[in-house]
Structure 1
Amino acid sequence: MEKVLNGAEEFSESCNMLKMVLALALYLGTIHFNLALIFFATFFLPLSKALLVFGSLLVLVMIPVDENSMFGRKLSKYICRHICSYFPITLHIEEVEAFRPNQAYVFGYEPHSVNPIGMIALGHSAGFMPLAKTKLLASRAIFYIPFMRHTWTWLGFTSVSKKNFISSLAAGYSCIVVPGGIRETLFMEPGCENVFLKERRGFVRIALEMGLPLVPVFCFGQTDTYKWWKAPGKLIQNLARILKITPLFFWGIYGSPIPFKIPLYVVVGRPIKVEKNPQPTMDQVAKVHNQFVDELQDLFNRHKAQAGYTNLELKII
């Protein structure tokens, strides 16, 4: 059985463009807001007021975020609702009956693209997935950025550290991780989806150690939501990897962080059952990893025509 959930159909009656742009700004524009605020404080405010701004930002980085805040819950639902309508996002679950609400799963979501925007359709705030609890795993750097750490925590994001990954699964949360991570952007190229997956086996090892099913997920259209330019040359890419930075410049509508309105088609595959193995060998991990890679490739091939990308190629590198 298949189930298709379309954000546009669910929420079109209550949305307008202003609300959608505000939701996108809250979700994706907080880094730019911080930079603008720092620039303004540095060059246009007296020293005393500038120090007050910097101190306030530091406090916002340090104080804990209440992920169960009533305001946070309302804001996260607002963001999800209007973002799902903006593109719109369609969520296609191949076999809804294969998922048990109280079972934890490890979702491998691809591609990363400039920003894995489609992940939001899998979070608890969207309310689409037939699961009781979910967590979206993101870079630790996000949780040191004022305002962004608040909105993303309320949206269900947590640090992608191994400790958080395991503790979230142990607490019964299904975790959505992008195995290729930010490094995957180094391999982006026009007209092709390059997934950096062959060396990324940590999420498979954790699934084996905890005996939790693996689920392949692919998002069509996401790579086209931004225009981008990547610094050429292997030397620059190797240097960027060492320094843990991404030599990628990107822009959306009118050069802003607001992405282009490209329909997103998120496909959730069938769970891959694994046997619990507290100490899997490298060969055992490799075997399950190969199975996941094959399932992701098959998932892509089965749905690319329906998603409107008949001629798109997927390269797993």
Structure 2
Amino acid sequence: MVIHPTEILTSISPSSAVELNMTSALANYATEADFKMLRIKFAPLKTPLERRLQTLAAACWFVTLAFGGTLCLAAVLYLTLFTRLWWLTLLYGAFIFYDRNVCNKGGRSSDWVRRWAWWSYLRDYFPLKLVKTAELDASRNYLFCAFPHGMLSTGAFGSFATEALGFAELFPGLRPHLVTLAGHFLLPVTRELALSCGSCSSSAESMGYLLSRPGGGHATVLIVGGAAESFYCRPGSYRIILRRRKGFIKLALKHGTPLVPVVSFGETDLYDQVSNPEGSWLRWVQDQFRKVFGIAPIIPIGRGFFQYSFGFIPRRCPVFTVVGRPMEVEKIPDPSRQQVDEVHQRFTDHLLAFFEAEKHKYVKEPDKTVLEIE
């Protein structure tokens, strides 16, 4: 039986304005009327200002993630070489050098930045929803293992790098840290935004620091598949990279940290991408770029400001980030390869069971939707 998107919401109590907005967005996503001209789907001319602001927030967010670091670096170089403000940029460069290890020591989270009103526009654009399925003890540390990466990890960012989805209310006493590549914390300006949102480096040193904090209260959020997983991002597909990812298992064993599965249903519906099958020249170029720079140069197919057919703005589709039940892990300071493999298999089974139990609530064709593990 096919479940209409609006029926999905009937099982979720509409206890907030966010959930009401989600109901409206789901209906619009399924039935929104638009007209076609030269095979381009145009947005209605009479679009409310609120929706325009939501689209602007999504566009700004894409530009920040995709080009923000490069643009800020270029601006700093220009100010240094061609203006009288060179002394200011040199001072800032010295500060970055002095502050270079903060991303490995818990970061520098700012509740003020995490609660910016701008994030609420981003949340309502899709909309985004954070769902809790089990209670978590705030006196412990946790390792959240998030899937899939998608194109921009929208669900994970909205849920754990901002307070727009109410993480602090759902998980009182826990502070989330969305970890990412250490190189991002060397880029001017954008590093300050990432740190203020609670992000830290995904290095073993950084994650070990977070997982070993006395008194607990820290949730380290790792997108296990990484940038390589974005190559598999296609609407309706849930193909993840997990088989060869075992470093996080070893860290969890060393610190006895529970593993919490997290799945963002709808993440892969936000973008399609230019065809790049394995073995193609485009895929080869993308793989080489990713190996050198740590990011995947995907050519996304989204939408534009005034039409829905192409562009870099993510599509307006609902994303449900569901946090599962923690899987306990025995503390073994120096785990063997066999012990790592055993816990890895146990977590894989735990993740698969969680996905199968939850998918019927959040995808349009659950019987045809499977979690493919690479």
TM over 0.5: yes
2:67 matched to which residue of 1?
Answer: 32
Q: CA deviation at 1:242?
A: 4.1
Which segment is superposed worse, 115-124 or 50-59? 50-59
Q: Choose from 210, 232, 247 the match for 1:168.
A: 210
Q: Of the two, which has the highest radius of gyration? A: 2
Q: CA deviation at 1:114?
A: 0.8
Matched, 1:202 2:259: no
Q: CA deviation at 1:284?
A: 1.1
User: Mind listing any 5+ residue stretches in structure 1 that lack a counterpart?
Assistant: none
Q: CA deviation at 1:33?
A: 4.7
Q: Is the 8 A contact 2:145 2:223 kept in 1?
A: yes
| d(CA) in 2 for partners of 1:151, 1:11 | 27
User: Mind listing any 5+ residue stretches in structure 2 that lack a counterpart?
Assistant: 1-10, 23-48, 305-309
Q: CA deviation at 1:175?
A: 0.4
| d(CA) in 2 for partners of 1:54, 1:187 | 43
After superposition, the Cα gap between the structure-2 partners of 1:37 and 1:121, relative to the gap in structure 1 and judged at 3 Å, is: closer
Superposition map of 1:224-239 within 5 A: 224-229=269-274, 231-234=276-279, 236=284, 239=288
Which segment is superposed worse, 103-112 or 253-262? 253-262
Matched, 1:316 2:316: no
| d(CA) in 2 for partners of 1:297, 1:213 | 17
Q: CA deviation at 1:124?
A: 6.4
1:75 matched to which residue of 2?
Answer: 113
Name the amino acid aligned to 1:114.
Answer: M
Cα RMSD (Å): 3.7
Q: Choose from 293, 296, 315 the match for 1:246.
A: 296
Secondary structure in 2 aligned to 1:90? strand
Superposition map of 1:167-186 within 5 A: 167-171=209-213, 172=216, 173-186=218-231
| d(CA) in 2 for partners of 1:296, 1:213 | 13
Matched, 1:9 2:19: yes
Among the aligned pairs, what percent are the same residue?
27
2:313 matched to which residue of 1?
Answer: 258
| d(CA) in 1 for partners of 2:75, 2:196 | 28
Matched, 1:274 2:308: no
1:152 matched to which residue of 2?
Answer: 194
TM normalised by structure 2 equals 0.70
| d(CA) in 2 for partners of 1:42, 1:143 | 17
Deviation by residue 1:192-213 (Cα, 9 ceiling, x = unmatched): 2111000101111111111111
Secondary structure in 2 aligned to 1:284? helix
| d(CA) in 1 for partners of 2:248, 2:154 | 20
Q: Is the 8 A contact 1:114 1:185 kept in 2?
A: yes
Q: Is the 8 A contact 2:274 2:301 kept in 1?
A: no
How many residues are paired up?
309
Secondary structure in 2 aligned to 1:303? helix
Which segment is superposed worse, 278-287 or 125-134? 125-134
Secondary structure in 2 aligned to 1:200? coil
Q: Is the 8 A contact 1:221 1:263 kept in 2?
A: yes
Name the amino acid aligned to 2:355.
Answer: F
Q: Choose from 153, 157, 160 the match for 1:122.
A: 160
Name the amino acid aligned to 1:246.
Answer: A
| d(CA) in 1 for partners of 2:352, 2:87 | 49
| d(CA) in 2 for partners of 1:26, 1:256 | 13
TM normalised by structure 1 equals 0.81
After superposition, the Cα gap between the structure-2 partners of 1:38 and 1:207, relative to the gap in structure 1 and judged at 3 Å, is: closer
Which segment is superposed worse, 245-254 or 209-218? 245-254
Secondary structure in 1 aligned to 2:362? coil
Q: Is the 8 A contact 1:204 1:289 kept in 2?
A: yes
| d(CA) in 2 for partners of 1:270, 1:199 | 23
Q: Is the 8 A contact 1:3 1:92 kept in 2?
A: no
Deviation by residue 1:158-211 (Cα, 9 ceiling, x = unmatched): 110110101112223220101111121234455421110001011111111111
Q: CA deviation at 1:34?
A: 5.5
Q: CA deviation at 1:101?
A: 1.6
After superposition, the Cα gap between the structure-2 partners of 1:50 and 1:124, relative to the gap in structure 1 and judged at 3 Å, is: same
Matched, 1:48 2:68: no
Deviation by residue 1:102-128 (Cα, 9 ceiling, x = unmatched): 211111000011111111313463442
